[in-house]
Structure formats: C-alpha cells, structure tokens
Structure 1
C-alpha cells in the first residue's frame, strides 16, 4: 500500500512539473539568440491590417469576437522560425471549438529581412492583410 501511494504521488509530481514547464511559456516561441527573429515578429505585428490599424490589433479583435460569442478557444500564440538566412516564417496559431471538434487556424507570413517585406503564406492570414498586398489569384489572367 505504501509503494502504491508513493507511486501515485510521484506520478502527480511529474505531471505537475511537466505542465508547469510546457504550459507556462506565455511569450512567443523564437529561435534562441536571434535578434532578427524578434525584428521579424515586430514587423508582422505592426504591419497594417485590413480592418484594424495593425495585425496585432486585428488578432485582438478576433479573440474579442470569440469571447463575446462564448466560443471556447486556445490561443497558442506567436511562433517564429528561420527558413533560410535572412528569411523567417512568423505565425500565430489559434484553436477554437467548432460544432464537432476543434478548428485550428494558422495565420502565417514569410518575412524577408533584407528587403523588410512581408508575404502572406496561409489562407487565414489573407483575411487580415490589406487587399493591395495579397498575391494574385492563380490563373487570374484567364478570368473575365
């Protein structure tokens, strides 16, 4: 009986340690010691959005709308990954509760640090970008 209680206590302690290390990081996930990654994240957050002054404000509006409708969601947050030297992928991930399961939306942009340009690379992110910055539709020259 004593060994079983000790085992249960150890499992609970390990689960608590795992949750505190994995769930406790609130900031964006950045490559270690990379000031360009921080700059790429700042470029995306402060970039003009379609229906808000910045992309960060547009994301705050999305979260406020979900809360006002009472939709359960999990804000996974910002992530930055280096694709090539001088080229970064900045993304924001959210999971929201749908009718039959969870819906994951990944808003992602490719940031070229040499030219300081931002290109949208996922469909959800196109809804935040100004119309004049969206890539052309495929075969748009064939559409009349």
Structure 2
C-alpha cells in the first residue's frame, strides 16, 4: 500500500491556489486594460472637449444643431410603455489611421421597434479634425442628420 499524501487541516490544495492567483492576475490585467483603453473624459482633455462641442453644436439637416436633432429623434420615437434611450457621448483619439488624425465622437440610440420586444440600435460616429475644424460623419445615421 502506498502512502496517501496527507493534507494539513485548513490548507487548500496547490491547484486551487494557482487558480486563485490566476484569477487575481486576470483581474489586475483587466483593470489595467480598462484604465489604458477607456474613452477619454472630455472635460479632462481640452481638445476632446472642443471636439465634442464641435459635433454637438454643428448644424443639422432638420434642427439647429446635431444635439437637438438627436433629441428630436428620441422624442419622435416615444411609444406607450417604451422609451428610447441614448448612451453617453464619448470621445476617443483617432490613432488608427495616420491620414485622419483627430477625435472620434460617438453616441448610440436605442429606439423601440414596431413589435413589442424589438429594438433598433443606431450608432452615430463622427470624425472631428481640429485644424482645420471639420466634422466628418463616419456612419450612415450620422450622415443622415448632417446637412
């Protein structure tokens, strides 16, 4: 008969400790990744705040500004018992394409569909160049609100 390895009372097996430390490491890496890649706080970066202001105050096709046009879309899509919702306006640096430097401004709308449990989601994206100042729609919904 071979001796069975004895375990001290109250001590966990080694593989459980490895799993626990692996989960702790994954949590730390996840938090670090979030902090590194999270969207910019527009108020912390003056250029990002300026880019957001350029988009929100840019003239729209059916309203004095893009912000008012989006608010109008929200009001037009009110349905009994179902309200549309909008995400926060986010601003990110555009570092993906060297020929299009600037900021990407994004807002998403969730509108009630024709059937009770259906929703329509629209993503509005704009590229903002600060010199010279330009607001370029990057998504179809964004181009539909622009003049």
Gaps of 5+ in 1: 1-28, 131-144
Which of 99, 104, 112 aligns to 1:89? It is 104
- In the TM superposition, structure 1's runs of 4+ consecutive aligned residues that sit over 3 Å from their partners are none
CA distance in 1, matches of 2:47, 2:109: 24
Contact kept? 2:40, 2:90, Cα under 8 Å: no
CA distance in 1, matches of 2:63, 2:109: 19
Question: Cα deviation per residue 1:85-142 (whole Å; 9 max; x = unaligned)?
Answer: 9510011111123235322101111001121101000011111000xxxxxxxxxxxx
Q: Normalized against structure 2, the TM-score is what?
A: 0.62
Gaps of 5+ in 2: 1-37
Q: Normalized against structure 1, the TM-score is what?
A: 0.63
Pairs aligned (count):
101
Report how far residue 30 of structure 1 moved: 5.3
CA distance in 2, matches of 1:87, 1:120: 13
**CA RMSD between the two structures:** 2.0
Task: Determine the structure 2 residue equivalent to 1:44.
Answer: 55
Q: Which structure dedicates a bigger proportion of its chain to helix? A: 1
Contact kept? 2:93, 2:104, Cα under 8 Å: yes
CA distance in 2, matches of 1:30, 1:37: 10
Contact kept? 1:80, 1:89, Cα under 8 Å: yes
Contact kept? 1:30, 1:37, Cα under 8 Å: no
